[in-house]
Amino acid sequence: MMVKNKWVSSNIQQCWFENSAWLRLIEYLKQENIHMKNHLSEMMDHVHGREEIALAEHFQNQFIIKDDVYDHMIHELRRQSEKWRENKWDLSSPQSAELQKNHHHIKEQMGKIRQEHLVLSDDFNTYLSSLTN
């Protein structure tokens, strides 16, 4: 029984650690998004052609969408933390299975969010480079 309790405690701690790490990551990505929006705004003096303007609008729209995604994830992560607290970190409770399922779902979402941010950031930097050439 002691081994099981130790595993349960470790599993709960891991969920809590991941949740708090994801929250910090989302806050960071949100700040990066703000930085990219500001940089786009500064570079608008160098945007002249139709295609360049269309790409600037595309990136602006993507940044707005990402703001919504990040805000939603912050809400979800905080809600998940609160549910774990309400559940008293008890993996044997009926709500625990749902919390673990939701944790796994959030983990998958976070992987996608990280990947999408990297792609957007790389594409945006490529676009900015094309403006200065």
| Average pLDDT in the chain | 87
- Residue 10, C-beta contacts closer than 8 angstroms, at least 6 positions apart: none
State yes or no: pLDDT of 1 exceeds 90. Answer: no
Domain residue spans in the chain? Answer: 2-132
What whole-number distance in Å separates Cα of residue 87 and Cα of residue 97? 11
Q: How confident is the model at residue 98 (pLDDT cuts 50, 70, 90)?
A: confident
pLDDT at res. 42: 93
pTM (two decimals): 0.83
What whole-number distance in Å separates Cα of residue 107 and Cα of residue 102? 8
DSSP 8-state class, residue 49: S
